[in-house]
Amino acid sequence: MARAGLDTHTLVLAAAELADAQGVQEVTLAALAAKLGVRPPSLYNHINGLAGLRTLLAIHGLEQLYDAMSAAAEGARGEQAVHALSQAYIGFARQHPGLYETTLRAPEEGDTALEAAGGKVLSLIIQVLSCFGLDEEGNLHAVRGLRSILHGFSALENQGGFGMPLDLNVSLTRLIRAYIAGIRCMGEGADELE
Amino acid sequence: MARAGLDTHTLVLAAAELADAQGVQEVTLAALAAKLGVRPPSLYNHINGLAGLRTLLAIHGLEQLYDAMSAAAEGARGEQAVHALSQAYIGFARQHPGLYETTLRAPEEGDTALEAAGGKVLSLIIQVLSCFGLDEEGNLHAVRGLRSILHGFSALENQGGFGMPLDLNVSLTRLIRAYIAGIRCMGEGADELE
DNA sequence: ATAATAAACTAATATGATTAGTTTTACAAG
DNA sequence: CTTGTAAAACTAATCATATTAGTTTATTAT
């Protein structure tokens, strides 16, 4: 019964590896305990059950995602910054498909750590898009648009939803470019459809 | 031991109700059997286990989604058709969040029924976008873009990912409009970034 | 009527999450 | 160096779910 020397962070890292290598549905306490050389109940000393582990995974994933995005957008402005940010987002989702997937769980109300991690990512996107001179409401709509694009592209790519033999990076670049061009072209007087 | 008179279609409809009302993770054979007044093993007379049920759900969802989209786009052309199609897509995802979610499972290779159901949706999008005069490759990239937008928006909306108190339909309309405007504004000579 | 098929059942097994209660390790205070 | 405490591991047990095997019964066709 020698101690394994586990702690919460070790568990989260091991669970993230499992998620990326085997898929989120394979992140079970049984599998995690086996990977760490311990019995499942021992994990409860460090995490709050499977639900707690998933929340920690989401926070960890959002932090990694934020780091990747903010490093990529560093020093860039305007359209270039949006492209850099977007490529970092999709790159993270590609490299960490399982961890990325955990990122999407809606936070339970009052889960301030998870809300904060998600809020940092959101703020970064808001900031990068603020260069386009939209009013505050327009900027928030634009943020929703970019998030939709980035998540939709990542999810479809990761789930093999893009069957066609066509370069994915070209698709992404065109999509982002079109969206930015669209925001610029529309200007102010394009509300007659609503 | 009176017969319950079940068949595959009844199971799929009941499972879809469960998925929409309780969430996909609550679609268990135990819950489905209870809802139908039967013991879990009895379900195996009609479906190929939980995995088989999920595949059938995905096909059913894609068919419903196709019907909604094609009815909405019927008779419309160009930008109007894209807006109609998009609103039908998001509307379906709103009304059937669980069923919509099952729709996204990547088909196992050789699952021709699921591939066909997904292919019909894809073809419809290709057709609606073909009005924009892009070349074949450009059109396929555009389809990827629109699918990303629609799925990303639906997924984020359904998971409560849009926290801001801002009208969702306005966000969607602006997003689609910007994307279409972007495709048009960019024209042909916009490849200097790749 | 009767035979064959299909649909339900019971019983049993396997996996996984979780809780309760126990043992042992590590460490700090005397 | 002893000893007491807290943390970390354990075993054992329970519950829920999926699944398989084998059985019974209802329906249907001959």
HEC string of B69-114 equals: HHHHHCCCCHHHHHHHHHHHHHHHHHHCHHHHHHCCCCCCCCCHHH
Instruction: Answer with the residue of higher pLDDT: A126 or B185.
Output: A126
| Closest to B156 (Cα-Cα) out of A44, A57, A173, A125 | A125
d(CA A37, CA B87): 51
d(CA A168, CA B9): 37
Give, in degrees to the nearest 5, the angle at Cα B72 between A157 and B120.
Answer: 45
Give, in degrees to the nearest 5, the angle at Cα B76 between B75 and B82.
Answer: 140
Cα-based distances in Å from A32 to A11, A12, A48 = 8, 10, 14
Using the C1' atom of nucleotide D27, identify the protein residue whose alpha carbon is closest. B3
Which residue reads 């505050």 in tokens? A136
Q: Stated in angstroms, how far is B39 CA from D5 C1'? A: 51
d(CA B194, CA B192): 6
**Do the Cβ atoms of A156 and B145 come within 8 Å?**
no
**Do the Cβ atoms of B144 and A182 come within 8 Å?**
no
Residues 6+ apart with CB under 8 A from A145: A179, B149, B171, B174, B175, B178
d(CA B17, CA B24): 10
d(CA A102, CA A117): 13
d(CA B93, CA B104): 12
**Model confidence band, residue B4 (pLDDT cutoffs 50, 70, 90):** confident
Q: What is the CA radius of gyration of chain A?
A: 19
Q: Stated in angstroms, how far is A45 CA from D23 C1'? A: 46
Q: Which of B121, B174, B184, B193 to mutate to test the interface with A (most CBs of A within 10 A)?
A: B174
**Do the Cβ atoms of B181 and A177 come within 8 Å?**
no
Which residue reads 């789930």 in tokens? A159
Mean pLDDT, chain B, whole residue set: 94
Residues 6+ apart with CB under 8 A from B64: B92, B96, B99
Tokens of A146: 């970019």
| Closest to A153 (Cα-Cα) out of A137, A136, A168, A135 | A168
Tokens of B121: 């949706």
pLDDT in tens, B132-156: 999 999 999 999 999 999 999 999 9
- Taking each helix axis as running N to C, give the angle between helix A112-129 and helix A136-158, from 0 to 180 degrees, rounded to the nearest 10: 110
pLDDT in tens, A108-152: 888 999 999 999 999 999 999 999 999 999 999 999 999 999 999
Give, in degrees to the nearest 5, the angle at Cα B156 between B150 and B161.
Answer: 155
**Model confidence band, residue A43 (pLDDT cutoffs 50, 70, 90):** very high
Identify the three-state secondary structure at position A186: helix
Q: What is the mean pLDDT of residues A54-75?
A: 98
Q: Which nucleotides of D are covered by protein (CB under 7 A)?
A: 7-13, 16-22, 24-27
Q: What is the DSSP string of B158-192?
A: HTT---S-S-HHHHHHHHHHHHHHHHHHH-SS--T
- Whether residue A193 has pLDDT greater than 60: no
pLDDT at position A187: 63
Tokens of B47: 């479906």
d(CA B28, CA B35): 11
- Whether residue A96 has pLDDT greater than 60: yes
pLDDT at position A194: 38
Cross-chain CB nearest to A177 (options B140, B155, B186): B186
d(CA A128, CA B142): 24
| pTM (2 d.p.) | 0.94
Residues 6+ apart with CB under 8 A from A77: A131
- Whether residue A184 has pLDDT greater than 70: yes
Cross-chain CB nearest to A182 (options B152, B178, B193): B178
